[in-house]
Structures are given as C-alpha cells and as structure tokens.
C-alpha cells in the first residue's frame, strides 16, 4: 500500500473518530461560541459609549478661587455634575451609597490651595477613579500655571493610526481571543483518543502492521487543521455578522501564526496524553491547563488590567502570544516583517517543541518498559 493510500484511509478514520467524539466538539466549537456570545452580549453594548462620570461638587464657602475652579469643572464634558447644593457630609454619603462616582470638595477660602477628591474605597483602583484623578490633576496644573502668570508653551497632541477604517472596540478584541482559545482547546482536548487507543492496545497493534506511524500522525494533524479552520470561520462569521466586529486580516501573518499555534497546542495535548493513564485523568489535566490559560492569557481582558503580581505568569503562557498573534494578524493587519510578531511565534514554537519532545520521550520510555 503506497503512502498516499495509507494517508487517505487514516485521515478518514481520524475524521470518523473526531465526529464521534462529543467532548472534542463541545470544547472546540460549542463552548467557545457560547462563551463568546455571553461576553459580547454583556460587554459589547457599552463599548462604543463615551466615558462620563457623575460627581457631586461641594462649594460650601463660595470664593473667587472656588468659583474659578467650579467654572472650569462645569465645562468638562466628561463630568456629569449632580444638581444640588451639598456639604462635605452629604457628599461623602452620596459616594458611600454609590449614588455618584466621586465628590469634589472645592477650597473653602481663597488662601486654601488644596482640592479634595472623595471616592469609594471599593472603587479606589477602578478605571473611573483613575480617570477622575488624571482629569483633576491636569486641572490643578493649569490653575498653577495661571496663578504664576505663565503661558502654556508645550501641548500634547494625541493621534492614533490603524489599518482599518473603523474604530476598534472590545468586540474585535474578544473575537480574536475566543478564536485563539477555541484552537488551543481543540489541541488540548483533541488528543484524548490517544489515551483510549493506548489503553486498549490499539497503538501497539498498529505498530505491528505495515502502516507507518509517521503517516498516522500526519493524518491526525491534517484533520485537526481542518477542525481549526472550521473554528476560525465559524467564530469570525458570528463576530462580524451578529456583533459587528471589524477584521482587517493580513493572510500571510494569519497563516503563519495559525500553523505554529495549532501545532504547539496539539503538541501540548500530545504531552498530556503521554502520562495520562485514563480518559478521566487526561480530561482533568487538560481542564486545569485550559482554565488557567483562559483567564490569564488576555482572552477576555487586556493583561495590563490584571494585578501586577500576576502579569509575569501571563507573559509566560503560550496562549498569551497566540491570542496576541491572531489579534495582530486579524485586527491590526500586522505584516510578517514585525519583530514583535516573530518573538511571540518563537515563544509559541518553544512551548510546542518542548512539549512534543517530552511527550515522545515518555511514549518511548513506556513502550520500552512494557516490552520488558
């Protein structure tokens, strides 16, 4: 039997096994779709709205300084000033009950030089608090310049560029993250058949036939590539046509990132199968690895928003670089000339190569022990 004939028969056999494997379909297709729809429904609806914070202003003793600051604060479109007259105790109660995002206490006399920002302790590290702090800090700087009689010489002009024609939002970020997660889970959970085949002695019997194990592995890899392409197409269609995601794809970059990512996560699944004695053990380890990477790899939210002490862990995980690589090639249309893209690909490749080598060694070692 020639190699092409062997490949065709083994590919059809692998395809039938995959179609029968309900767990692979759930974790590879249905779970990412369900998860993506839930997150997009929850978060994408507010993603295009401008930031605005509601604040209560305390101006108990009106004076020239407080009136000047109040005039400048009132002109800021980002601040929604709650109507009414408040003293400090009233303002603190409003913040405590979370009826407003913060309270601003203006100077009680012309001689005072401090402006107080009252925020809720639970929201101290929140994005709204950080934004308000930055806004008021800029206001104070401008007031200091005005008091000193200095003119503002330097100004910051903020510009952004993108290969797309529309503004990118959270929907685009989440879509590419979910595609990366789906392909990763396809590789992590897709090798469960090897555990069952080894337990039943099918791999040992296959080695005793004229069939080549290299062609067996190639056919399995080809089938999983097709499975991953289905994942990309299906999730992209849902994201673009149902939730309005924007994709600006560099196909050359996408193909390279996809190939390295799919191979590496298949290698991780192969590694897990090499030491798992039962299907239950395999699924347990795969679930732990999957959920760890799911929440620490920037799939749902940028890594920069995570606590600083956990970010180093995120920068080690392969899914972090796979998700970023897909984002670069599918959203930002990054070319293959990008050094950042190749650094991420290199880390993905390193994970896959190490996992494959250790897995192969474990398979070979167990095979030798079993023949003694």
CA distance 57 to 73: 9
Cβ atoms 180, 326 nearer than 8 A: yes
Reported as a single tens digit per residue, the pLDDT across 126-179 is: 667 777 777 777 777 777 767 666 665 555 454 545 554 445 577 888 889 889
Q: Calculate the average pLDDT of the chain.
A: 78
Q: What is the pLDDT of residue 323?
A: 93
Q: Averaged over 249-260, what is the pLDDT? A: 92
Contacts of 63 (CB under 8 A, 6+ apart): 107, 108, 109, 110
How do the residues of the chain divide into helix, strand and coil, expressed in percent and rounded to 5? 65, 5, 30
Q: Which residue has the higher pLDDT, 324 or 114?
A: 324
Structural domains of the chain sorted by starting position, each given as residue range(s) with its CATH number in brackets: 12-45+168-371 (no CATH), 53-148 (3.40.1710.10)
Reported as a single tens digit per residue, the pLDDT across 185-218 is: 888 887 777 777 777 776 667 666 666 655 666 6
Q: How confident is the model at residue 47 (pLDDT cuts 50, 70, 90)?
A: very low
Reported as a single tens digit per residue, the pLDDT across 105-128 is: 888 887 777 778 888 777 766 667
Q: How confident is the model at residue 368 (pLDDT cuts 50, 70, 90)?
A: very low
181 has a pLDDT exceeding 70: yes
- Ramachandran region of residue 192, left (φ > 0), alpha (ψ -120 to 50) or beta? alpha
Q: Which residue has the higher pLDDT, 353 or 128?
A: 353
Reported as a single tens digit per residue, the pLDDT across 62-104 is: 888 778 878 888 887 778 888 878 888 888 888 888 888 888 8
């Amino acid at each position: 039997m020639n190699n092409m004939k062997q490949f065709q028969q083994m590919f059809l056999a692998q395809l039938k096994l995959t179609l029968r494997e309900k767990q692979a379909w759930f974790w590879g297709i249905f779970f990412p779709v369900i998860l993506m729809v839930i997150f997009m429904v929850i978060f994408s609806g507010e993603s295009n709205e401008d930031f605005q914070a509601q604040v209560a202003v305390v101006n108990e003793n009106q004076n020239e300084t407080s009136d000047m600051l109040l005039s400048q604060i009132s002109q800021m479109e980002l601040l929604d000033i709650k109507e009414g007259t408040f003293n400090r105790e009233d303002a603190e109660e409003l913040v405590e009950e979370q009826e407003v995002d913060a309270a601003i206490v203006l100077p009680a006399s012309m001689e005072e030089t401090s402006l107080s920002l009252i925020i809720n302790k639970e929201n101290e590290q929140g994005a709204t608090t950080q934004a308000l702090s930055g806004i008021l800090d800029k206001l104070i700087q401008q007031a200091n310049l005005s008091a000193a009689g200095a003119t503002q010489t330097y100004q910051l002009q903020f510009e952004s560029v993108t290969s797309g024609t529309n503004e990118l939002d959270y929907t685009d970020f989440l879509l590419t993250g979910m595609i990366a997660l789906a392909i990763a889970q396809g590789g992590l959970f897709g090798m469960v058949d090897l555990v069952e085949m080894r337990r039943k002695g099918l791999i040992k019997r296959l080695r005793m036939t004229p069939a080549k194990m290299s062609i067996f592995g190639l056919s399995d890899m080809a089938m999983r590539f097709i499975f991953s392409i289905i994942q990309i197409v299906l999730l992209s269609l849902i994201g673009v046509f149902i939730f309005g995601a924007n994709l600006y794809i560099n196909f050359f970059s996408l193909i390279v990132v996809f190939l390295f990512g799919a191979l590496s996560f298949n290698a991780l699944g192969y590694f897990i199968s090499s030491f798992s004695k039962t299907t239950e053990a395999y699924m347990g380890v795969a679930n732990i690895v999957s959920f760890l990477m799911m929440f620490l790899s920037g799939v749902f939210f940028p890594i920069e928003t995570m606590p600083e002490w956990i970010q180093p862990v995120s920068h080690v995980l392969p899914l972090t670089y796979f998700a970023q690589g897909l984002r670069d090639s599918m959203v930002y249309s990054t070319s293959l000339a990008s050094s950042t893209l190749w650094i991420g690909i290199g880390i993905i490749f390193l994970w896959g190569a190490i996992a494959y080598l250790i897995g192969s060694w474990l398979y070979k070692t167990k095979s030798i022990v079993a023949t003694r």
